[in-house]
Amino acid sequence: MKFIAAVLALVAAVVATEVRYDPVYNNAGQSLATVACSDGSNGLLTKGFTTFSSLPSYPNIGSSQYIGGWNDADCGSCWNITYQGKSTFFTAIDVAKTGIVTSQTSLDKITGGHAVEYGVITASVQRVASKLCGL
């Protein structure tokens, strides 16, 4: 019984989540000082990253409802976003009121180039190991 409980605790939930894009996350040179996950002990600047494109998963970055604010413990968390059989790993770097907001390039990748046309999709989102996002 304890074994089953331990295994179930390790299984990350897959959640249906709204995913949209914001062109700001396509700006490769944008400073990480402009996002919630900037400095502080959980910040990305303190880990040596300086711009959006310095993050290994760029352009698969953006804001997430799981980031509560500055220096959140989930800063830099990695998420697998799956939509109609296509997946990408996404690094959470900023606060979103709801769902996930990523770059247009990232949303185009999983929608077959339809980010602008669709605007918002409902995708399966699951937290995964940070190493899958290169962190």
Listed by start position, the domains of the chain span 13-133
| Cβ atoms of residues 25 and 102 within 8 Å | yes
Q: Which two tokens stand for residue 34?
A: 């402009």
Helices (H), the chain: 2-10, 104-111, 115-118
Instruction: Please tell me the total number of residues recorded for the chain in this structure.
Output: 135
User: Looking at domain 13-133, which CATH architecture does it have?
Assistant: Beta Barrel (2.40)
Q: What digits encode the pLDDT tens for the residues 25-74?
A: 999 999 999 999 999 999 999 999 999 999 999 999 999 999 999 999 99
pTM comes to 0.88
pLDDT at 12: 62
Write the DSSP symbol of residue 89. E
User: What's the whole-number mean pLDDT along residues 112-130?
Assistant: 98
